[in-house]
Structure 1
Amino acid sequence: MTPFRTFAMVDWSGGNDTGPTPRKDAIWACVVRDGNAVEPVYLRNRALAENWLADLIEAETSAGRRLFLGFDFPFGYPRGFARALTGSDDPLTLWDWFEARIEDAPKANNRFDLAGEINRRFGGRGPFWANGLKRDIEGLPRRKDTYHNPFPDRRAVEHLAKGSFTCWQMAGAGAVGSQVMMGLPVLTRLCRRFAGQVAVWPYEALDKPVAFVEIWPSLTLGAAPEGRIKDAWQVEQVALDLAHLPPEDLARQLDVSAAEEGWILGVKQNRPDIAPPPLRNDCFALPAGVNWTPVDDALALLRDRLGPVTGVKTVPLGQALGRVLAQDVVAKRSNPPQPNTAVDGYGFAGAIPDGEHVMPLLEGRAAAGIPFDGTVPPGNALRVLTGAALPEGVETVILEEDVTVQDNHIAFRGPLKRGANARKAGEDVKAGEIALTAGRRVTPADLALLSAVGLAEVQARRPLRVAVVSTGDELVEPGQAAGPGQIFDANRPMLLAMADRFGFDTVDMGRIADDRVALRAALDTAADTADVILTSGGASAGDEDHVSALLQEAGALQEWRIALKPGRPLALGMWNGTPVFGLPGNPVAAMVCTLIFARPAMGLMAGEGWHEPQGFDVPAAFEKRKKPGRREYLRARVRDGRAEVFHSEGSGRISGLSWAEGLVEIEDGERHIRPGDPVRFIPYGSFGL
C-alpha cells in the first residue's frame, strides 16, 4: 500500500453538547495533509463529529490520499468482557453490540443506564462504576467502594502506559468509560458506511485507504502553550508528529500483537530485545531427516502451520454472497416466526377421530401477512391460506380438497392428527440458535436463511488475495508469435481462473523472464498486495530456477519432495512474510498441486477452515497396476456410473485436464485395479471449481 498522506487526530468526549463557544473537555480534531496542518476544529457534539469524520473520509478517499485517523479512547475492553457480553472474543462484534444499544442525542444519552443494565447481568456491582446523573441507576454504583469487577480492571497495555485510565469508570476525572461507550458506535457506523475502505488497528491489517488507530495524547504531551486550549493543541501536535514520522518508524510502532483488548499506539510491548537469525527453519520446514513426504503428512503440516490472515468487516446481506463468515450467525428471529399453515384449507383445534364430521365455519379468514383478528372457539373452523399465521384456537389444518363447504359449515372425514398440515414456530430455526457457522462461504440459499431469521448484515472476512506469477524465458502470451523453443503461458490463466472460482481475489503479476532482479521486484510487489503467492516454473534446483534460488537466498525455502504423481517437487517459502507456493511448471502437475495442497491451505488462510474435498467410491472402468510409495491422481470422469481415466498419464497432455471432470485418487500403497474395483473419484466441484 502507498504511505499515508493525511493524518488526523480526534480528542473525544462522552458528554453532552458543549455549546457554540470553543472550550476544553470537548471534541477537538486536527488534520495534517501532506505535512501541512489545518486549524484544529471544535465539534460541540458527537453528531457533528460523526458528520465531520464522514466528510473527511469521503474527501480523502475520493482524492486518493490514504488517511490515518487517531482517536483517544480504548478500542477494546479487558479480556473476557467481549465474550461474556456477546458470545464472541471478536472486539468488533462488541462494537456492533454497543452501536445497537446506545441512544445518543446532543443533550442526552443512555450511557449510564446501559452501564447499569450491563452490571445487572453480572450481579449488579460491576464492572462499570460512577453514576454521573442525579437519579439513581440500579446496578451502577456511584463510587468505587461498593464496586466488584468480574473482569480485569485494566487492559495489558494500560499496565504499561503510566497515566492511563480504566475503561470501567463512567464519570468524574478520567472517565474513559463514557468515551469508549459513546465512541465505539460512531466508529462502527463509519466502518459500515465506508465498508471495505477502513481497517481498525490492531485488529486488522492496515491495507485499506483509511486506518482507525487508538492514540492517547496525554501519555506523551504536557501542558499546552499559554493561550491555547489543551485539547486543541494536543490533537494538532499528534497529527503533526505522525505526519513527520519516517514511514519505517511508524511501521515499527504499528507492529504489535494484540488480541481482543487492543493497544495504544506508541506504547512498547514487553518483548525480548533480541533479533532473530535469518529464517532458515520457517513454518514450512520439514522434520529433520525427512526427504520424501507422504501426501497426508504434507497436508497435516500445512494445516498445522497456517491460519486465517484476512480481516473482518460488517457486511450487508446484499454484499455477503461468496464471503466467508467470520463468526457463527445467531438467528434474531425464529423461522417460522409463529405457527402457520402449510396448505390452503380449514383450521380448527385438536385431533380429529375417524368418521364423518361437520363443523361450523366462522366468517373471515387468515392469509399470509393478513392474520385473523380473533380467536377460533373449540368445535369451529376458519378458512386459512398457505403461509398464514394460525390464530389462537387453531392447531390443525385440513386440505380444502378434502372438505365440502355449505351453509357456513364444512364436512370432512377423519382421522386427522393434531398439528396436521401446520408448521410450528421455530421448527426450522429458533431465535438464539446458530443459523450458520463461522467459516462458511455464503451461498444464495444462505442469503434466504439469513434474511428469514432477521439478519440484515453479517461479520465476514475480506476475500483472500492471491497473486499469480509465471516464470520462464520460454513463455509468451497467447496470441503472440512464438519463436523456436517458446511455448504459450498456459499456467497463469489457469491458476488465476482457479483462484477466482475458489472465491478469492486475484492479482495478475504477469510473466517474468528468467531474470532474478525482475523476479525479485515482482515478488516484492506481490507480497505487498496479496496474502499468498502462486508461482509456476523455476521451483526446482536448476541454473534458471530463480524462484527457489531467491527463496533460498532469503532463508525461507523448503523444497518438499512429495510422494505424489504428478507434481513431485513443491517449493514452499515466505517472501516478506507472505507464503509462496512454488508450483511445477507443467500445467497438469501445477493444477494437481494447486487442488491438493494450495486449495486447502488458501481456504485456511481465508478463514473458511481446512477444505476436505468430498470423494465418492465408484467402480473403475479401467485397469492399472501401481507400485507402492507414491499417491497418484489420474484425470478422470464418470460415465454410466463408472470412472474412466484419460488414455495417457503423461503430464504434458494438457487436453486431459479439459477432458476430465475430476481426479481418481489412488492410495500410497501397491494397487492392481481391475474393471469393477472401487476407486475414489473426486469431482472438480468438490474443490470449488
Structure 2
Amino acid sequence: MKTIAQIAAELQGYDPQALSAERVNDFLAQLIEPVTETETLPVFDALGRVLAQDVVSPISVPPHDNSAMDGFAFDSAQLRPGEPLTLRVVGTALAGKAWASPVGAGECLKIMTGAIMPPELDTVVPLEFVRAGEDGSVHIPPGVVSAGDNRRLLGEDLMAGQPALRKGQTLGPAALGLIASLGLPSVSVFRRIKVAYFSTGDEILSLGDCPREGAVYDSNRYTVFGLLTRLGVEVVDMGVVGDQPALLEAAFRQAAATADAIITSGGVSMGEADHTKAMMKHLGDVAFWRIAMRPGRPMAVGRITEQGRSAILFGLPGNPVAVMVTFLAFVRPALLRLMGSTTAEPLLLKAQSGEPLRKKPGRTEYQRGIVTRGADGALHVCTTGNQGSGVLRSMVEANGLIVLHHSQGNVAVGDAVDVMMFDGAI
C-alpha cells in the first residue's frame, strides 16, 4: 500500500497548492485499492452490484436457429430474381415446440416468432408481405425477401463458453435479464462497501434544533446521503460533529473502525478553525489540497487507520454546491473504483452553449447547466444563472454540470462544451 508521499512523488505535475482536476483523479486512482471480498447473491438481489468474476454462458443464445418474426419459413433456393413465388403451407410451427415433419420443395411452414427453424429452411417472409391463396397457398411478391432474412442463428447473441458479462461491470436491469436468460439463479459480486459520513462545525444545526443567530441547518448531510444511496453503498450517518478535538477524534476513530471510506464536509478551507484538519493529520496519512477548480477548491484526501482497519478519507468543503461538485467529479469515481467497478469515469456529452461563458485558463470550472434538445436535433445547454457555491437551488434546477476544462478559455454562443449529466447520480 503506497503512502501519500509515495503517490505524490510518482505523480507528474503534482502540486498540492495548485492541483488540477485531472491530477486529482490520477492521484485517487493510485490511492484506491478495490475491495476483494465477494458474496453470491440471487439474481433478484444483485441489482446495482459489481461483478466479482466474469459470467460465462453455460448455453448458446439463442439455443437454436429460430424465426425473428411471425411469417412463413421456406428454403431460399426457390427464390428467383424478379419473380414471385407461390408455396403451399403445410402447417404451423409454434414457439417452444420443434416442427417434426419435413418441408419439401414448393412448400412452406407458417411460423411464429421464436419458433425453431427446421434445418431445411433458412428464410422467413413476414406475414404482411404475402398474399394468401384460396387453395391454402401463399404468394410472395418479388423483391420482398432475400436468402437468410428474419432468421436468428444459434449462438448469434452468445455462444456457450463465452463471457456474457465481465468482472467489474455494474449490474443494471438488462444485465439481470441476461443472467436469468442463461439459466443462472445466482451471481458472484463484490461485497457492498460501507461509507461513513458526518458534517463538521459548531454553526451547523440538525433538523429539529432550534434556530440561533449565525447558525445554519445542515443540508450537506442529506445531499451526501442521497448521493451515496444512489451509488448503492451502505451509508453510516454520523450526524453533525462540533469543532471540538475530543468529539472529532471519537468520530474519526469510530468511522475508521467500521467503514471503508469516510466523507466529511467543512473544516478544510484556509482560515477555518483547524481542529478538523489537525485531527485528520493526527490520525492518518492525509494530503490537503487546493484544487484549481471552481467551485470546491479545498479538499483533503488520505487514509485513517483504526483497530487494524484502513478507511479512505475525503474531506470536502462546506458549501453545498461545492460538496456536490467535488463528490461527482472525484469522490463518486473513487468510490466506484473501491467497489470494484471498472467503469468509474463520468460520461461527458457534447452540447452547444446557449450563452457566452467567461472562463480564464488555469482552472476547471463546473457550472450548473440545463441541457435541452433544440429544433435542430442537437443538444443545447444554458446555465441556471447564479453560480454561487452556496446556491443549492441551482443544483435542483440543473440536469448536468458544464465542464470547462483547465486550459479552456471563454466560450461563445454555439461553441461545443462538455456536460456531465446527473442522470443516475443525483
Q: Using structure 2 for the length normalisation, give the TM-score.
A: 0.90
Structure 1 pair 454/555, CA: closer, same or farther in 2 (3 Å)?
closer
CA distance in 1: counterparts of 2:136 and 2:358, whole angstroms: 79
In 1, distance between residues paired with 2:351 and 2:269?
Answer: 36
CA contact (8 A) 2:369 2:382 kept: yes
The one-letter amino acid paired with 1:578 is A
Equivalent of residue 358 in structure 1, options 83, 86, 104:
86
Instruction: Give the conservation status (yes or no) of the 8 Å contact 1:326–1:460.
Output: yes
Normalized per residue, the structure richer in helix is 1
Amino acid at match of 1:339: D
Instruction: Give distance in 1, aligned partners of 2:204 and 2:9.
Output: 31
Shift of residue 543 of structure 1? 6.3
Q: Distance in 2 between matches of 1:603 and 1:382?
A: 52
Write out aligned runs for 1:170-319 (5 A).
281=5, 291-319=17-45
Out of 632, 635, 642, the residue aligned to residue 368 of structure 2 is 635
Work out which of the residue numbers 665, 675, 687 in structure 1 matches 2:413. 675
* Alignment pair present for 1:371 and 2:109: no
Q: Judging changes above 3 Å, is the alpha-carbon distance between structure 1 residues 286 and 491 closer, same or farther for their aligned structure 2 residues?
A: farther
Q: Is the 8 A contact 1:366 1:391 kept in 2?
A: no
Which residue in 2 is equivalent to 1:40? Answer: none
Could you say which residue in structure 1 is the equivalent of 2:117?
390
Matching of residue 441 in structure 1 with residue 170 in structure 2: yes
State which of 452, 475, 478 in structure 1 corresponds to 2:181.
452
Question: Is the contact made by 2:88 and 2:137 (CA closer than 8 Å) also made in structure 1?
Answer: yes
Q: Which amino acid aligns with 2:156?
A: E
After superposition, the Cα gap between the structure-2 partners of 1:545 and 1:376, relative to the gap in structure 1 and judged at 3 Å, is farther
Q: Separation in 2 of the partners of 1:600 and 1:501?
A: 13
Deviations for 1:84-119, whole angstroms, at most 9, x for unmatched residues?
Answer: xxxxxxxxxxxxxxxxxxxxxxxxxxxxxxxxxxxx
SS of 1:324 mapped into structure 2: coil
> Within 2, Cα distance between the matches of 1:529 and 1:343?
55
Higher alpha-carbon deviation: 575-584 or 434-443? 434-443
Matched-pair contact (CA < 8 Å) for 1:378–1:393: no
Q: 2:386 aligns with which of 612, 626, 648?
A: 648
Residue 521 of structure 1: CA displacement?
1.5
The number of residue pairs the alignment matches comes to: 411
C-alpha contact (below 8 Å) 1:637/1:645 kept by paired residues: yes
Alpha-carbon separation, structure 2, partners of 1:583 and 1:442: 29
Q: Does 1:559 align with 2:285?
A: no
For 1:359, give the aligned amino acid.
L
| Bigger radius of gyration among the two | 1
Are residues 1:327 and 2:53 paired? Answer: yes
Question: Conserved in 2, the CA contact under 8 Å of 1:622 and 1:644?
Answer: yes
The residue aligned with 1:347 is 73
Contact kept? 1:310, 1:464, Cα under 8 Å: no
Distance in 2, Cα, partners of 1:432 & 1:574: 41
Per-residue displacement from partner, 1:472-501 (whole Å, max 9, x unpaired)? 111111243211111000100000100111
Question: 1:623: Cα distance to partner?
Answer: 1.9
Does the 8 Å contact 1:666/1:679 carry over to 2? yes
Greater displacement, 563-572 / 282-291: 282-291
Sequence identity of aligned pairs in percent? 36
Tell me which of 590, 605, 608 is aligned to 2:323. 590
Structure 1 residues 164-220: Cα deviation after superposition (integer angstroms, max 9, x where no partner): xxxxxxxxxxxxxxxxxxxxxxxxxxxxxxxxxxxxxxxxxxxxxxxxxxxxxxxxx
Is this contact kept in 2: 1:403–1:412, CA < 8 A? yes
- Does the alignment pair 1:537 with 2:270? no
TM-aligned CA deviation for residue 544 of structure 1? 2.8
CA distance in 2, matches of 1:290, 1:540: 13
Letter in 2 for 1:345: G
State the 1:596 CA deviation: 0.7
The match for 1:659 is: 397
Alignment correspondent of 2:332: 599
CA distance in 1, matches of 2:218, 2:164: 44
Q: Which residue number in structure 1 is paired with residue 230 of structure 2?
A: 501
Cα deviation, residue 365, structure 1? 2.3
1:81-96 aligned at under 5 Å gives the runs none
| Alpha-carbon offset, residue 505 of structure 1 | 1.7
3-state DSSP of counterpart to 2:86: strand
Q: Does residue 1:575 correspond to 2:290, yes or no?
A: no
Give the 3 Å change call, closer, same or farther, for CA 485–536 of structure 1 in structure 2: same
CA RMSD of aligned residues (A): 2.3
Q: CA deviation at 1:305?
A: 2.6
Summarize deviations over 1:342-376 as a string: whole Å, max 9, x none: 222221223422323332332x4211112212332
Cα distance change on mapping 1:405 and 1:332 into 2, 3 Å: farther
CA contact (8 A) 1:282 1:573 kept: no
Between the aligned partners of 2:86 and 2:15, the Cα distance in structure 1 is: 85
Q: Does the aligned pair in 2 maintain the 1:310–1:463 contact within 8 Å?
A: no
Q: CA deviation at 1:600?
A: 0.7
For 1:651 and 1:482, how far apart are their aligned partners in 2?
Answer: 23
Contact 1:341 1:385 in 2 (8 A): yes
> What does residue 150 of structure 2 align with?
421
Q: Give how far 1:392 is off.
A: 2.7
Equivalent pair of 2:89/2:108 in contact (CA under 8 Å): yes
Does 1 or 2 have the higher relative contact order (CA < 8 Å, sep 6+)? 2
- Is this contact kept in 2: 1:537–1:545, CA < 8 A? no
After superposition, give the CA deviation of every residue in 1:646-689 in whole Å (9 maximum; x if it has no partner).
3222212121111211111112135122222222122112x733
- Residues 285 and 491 (structure 1), Cα distance of their counterparts in 2 relative to 1, 3 Å cut: farther
Distance 1:606 1:295 in 2: 22
Deviation at 1:524, TM superposition (A): 1.8
- Give 1:281's aligned amino acid: A
Contact 2:86 2:137 in 1 (8 A): yes
Deviation at 1:542, TM superposition (A): 4.8
Asked whether the equivalents of residues 601 and 610 of structure 1 are also in contact (C-alpha less than 8 Å), the reply is no
Structure 2 unpaired stretches of 5+:
none
Report the counterpart of residue 196 of structure 1 in structure 2: none
SS of residue in 2 equivalent to 1:673: coil
Deviations 1:594-644 (A, max 9, x none): 111101111100001252222222221222322222111111112444211
Is 2:65–2:152's contact at 8 Å kept on the other side of the alignment? yes
Structure 1 position 541, deviation (Å):
5.4
User: Secondary structure, in 3 states, of the residue corresponding to 1:591?
Assistant: helix
Which secondary structure state, in structure 1, belongs to the residue aligned with residue 334 of structure 2? helix
Match of 1:671, SS state, is: coil
Change (3 A) 1:284 1:341: same
Q: Residue by residue, what CA displacement relative to the aligned partner does 1:226-267 show, whole Å, maximum 9, x if unpaired?
A: xxxxxxxxxxxxxxxxxxxxxxxxxxxxxxx9xxxxxxxxxx
Contact 1:360–1:380 (8 Å) recurs in 2: yes
- CA 1:285–1:462 in 2, change beyond 3 Å: closer, same or farther? farther
Change (3 A) 1:285 1:516: farther
CA distance 1:678–1:286, shift in 2 (3 Å) = same
What residue number does 1:465 align with?
A: 194
Structure 1 CA distance for aligned equivalents of residues 291 and 10 of structure 2 = 11
